[in-house]
Amino acid sequence: MNSTTREPAPVVGIMGAGAIGLYVGGMLAVAGAHVVFAARGRTLESLSRGLSLSRYDGFKSALKPEHYAVGGVDGLAKCDVVLFCTKSGDTEAAAIDLARVLKPDATVISLQNGVGNVELLKRLVSPHQVVAGTVPFNVVRLSPNAVHCSMEGPVLIGPSDASGPLAKLAEGSPLKLQVHDNLDAMQWGKLLLNLNNGLNVISGLPLLNQFRDPGYRKVLAMAMEELLAALDAAGIPVIGATRTNPRLIPRVLRLPTWLFRVVARQQLRMDETARSSSWDDLKADREPETRFLNGAVVSLAEAHGRTAPVNELICSLVAEAFAEKVSPQMPGDKLVELARKVTAGL
């Protein structure tokens, strides 16, 4: 009689136990996966007591510590795949630390904001395979061991031997994990969305309230158009990280508010309290990621003989907010006025 043997499920490591790392790792643990968190400080101590997960659709789970493992980076030594979820500014130091413990056939999947992390990881953890990924939805950290997903969307990862089995692991939870062939172009689509992170800091508003402000939508559209123009100049393709064509998003943002709320109703399916990760960074006194987001637009534009003054303005205003440790809570019409001045060269 013939018998078949199943491949053992991969052991999944989480490098960077912030909001995204805790949510994705926690959902994989809900599905029954063997998950190992690399954590430190308050997070390490808190995870030893459990992990609480919740979602905009009402899902809640209180994982007991026996449902996952937690420790330092050394605990990732037996992981088959490591989800790299640190802030962009921490990539280099974390990658060097991770490289010393990775097993020879381990795969690293980046679930970070920005567009330069994958190339940096490839250099620092070589010869290990590094795969791009993106998380086009918002997760809020409620406490060191509690996270809340405030809007819908799948985790998207590039193809690799580890990608299919990882997507299969997620099927036992509400987490959607999909394999996509062109993550490079999609990461630019995610960056397009992330250009709003700094604006959320400047507004001081929950995301839904911010999107109801036509001034903030207009400035976001201007920032997005600068990125799209820079991508065209560089000959770089872009694919939307959501269902909407990325080149249509600025036009949708400029619609009257009543019509915008109708056209963008799917994208606006989020909690009333949802905010950007940059807002969380401000509240936690962490370094902002703006130079990897809006700053990346400025760098790309300059490299191809263009300018990106609106994104420069956003970088400057966010830097001021973080220096003062408080949002300026700038009205949308005032921000539009500033954006018009910088685009006019004033």
Q: What is the pLDDT of residues 174-231, one digit of tens each?
A: 999 999 999 999 999 999 999 999 999 999 999 999 999 999 999 999 999 999 999 9
Residue ranges of the chain assigned to CATH 3.40.50.720: 12-181
Q: Can you read off the two tokens belonging to residue 223?
A: 């920032």
- pLDDT confidence bin for 1, thresholds 50/70/90: very low
Structure-token match 């985790």, residue found: 155
How does 38-56 read in b/e, with b if 16+ C-beta sit within 10 Å? bbeeebbebbeeebbbbbb
The confidence band for 236, taking pLDDT boundaries of 50, 70 and 90, is very high
What's the pLDDT at 8?
A: 79
* Arithmetic mean of pLDDT, 102-112: 97
Share of the chain above pLDDT 90, in %: 89
Provide the percentage of residues in the chain whose pLDDT is more than 70.
97
What does the pLDDT read at residue 210? 97
Q: For residue 122, which of 72, 158, 76 has the smallest C-alpha distance?
A: 158
Mean pLDDT value across residues 90-118: 97
Quote the mean pLDDT of the chain. Answer: 94
- The CATH number assigned to the domain with range 12-181 reads 3.40.50.720
The CATH number given to 186-343 is 1.10.1040.10
Check whether 305 has a pLDDT greater than 50: yes
Q: Which is more confident, 7 or 251?
A: 251
Distance between CA atoms of residues 34 and 69, nearest Å: 8
Report how far residue 329's alpha carbon sits from residue 191's, in angstroms, rounded to the nearest whole number.
23
150 pLDDT above the threshold of 70: yes
Query: What was the pLDDT predicted at 2?
Result: 46
Beta bridge partners of 63: 51
Instruction: Give the pLDDT band (50/70/90) at residue 5.
Output: low
pLDDT band at residue 273 under the 50/70/90 scheme: confident
Q: Check pLDDT > 90 for residue 12.
A: yes
Query: Is a pLDDT exceeding 70 seen at residue 128?
Result: yes
Least confident of 1-5, 47-51, 223-227, 301-305: 1-5
Query: Quick one: average pLDDT of 311-315?
Result: 98
- Mean pLDDT to the nearest integer, 51-78: 97
Mean pLDDT in residue range 44-60:
96
Task: Give the ranges where the chain is alpha helix by DSSP (H).
Answer: 19-30, 41-47, 91-99, 117-125, 163-169, 183-194, 196-203, 207-211, 214-234, 249-253, 257-263, 277-283, 294-303, 309-324, 332-343
* Mean of pLDDT values over 284-302: 96
The residue written with tokens 């920005």 in the block is 114
Confidence of residue 6 (pLDDT cuts 50, 70, 90): low
Between 3 and 128, residue with greater pLDDT: 128
Which residue in 175, 207, 202 sits closest to 271, CA to CA? 207
Is residue 3 scored above 60 in pLDDT? no
Of 106-115, 258-267, 303-312, the range with the lowest mean pLDDT is 258-267
Measured CA to CA, the distance from residue 252 to residue 230 in angstroms comes to 20
Q: What is the pLDDT of residue 274?
A: 87
The per-residue pLDDT for 244 is 84
Q: Where in the sequence of the chain do the CATH 1.10.1040.10 domains occur? A: 186-343
Query: Please, are residues 59 and 31 in contact by the beta-carbon 8 Å criterion?
Result: no
Residue type, 272: E
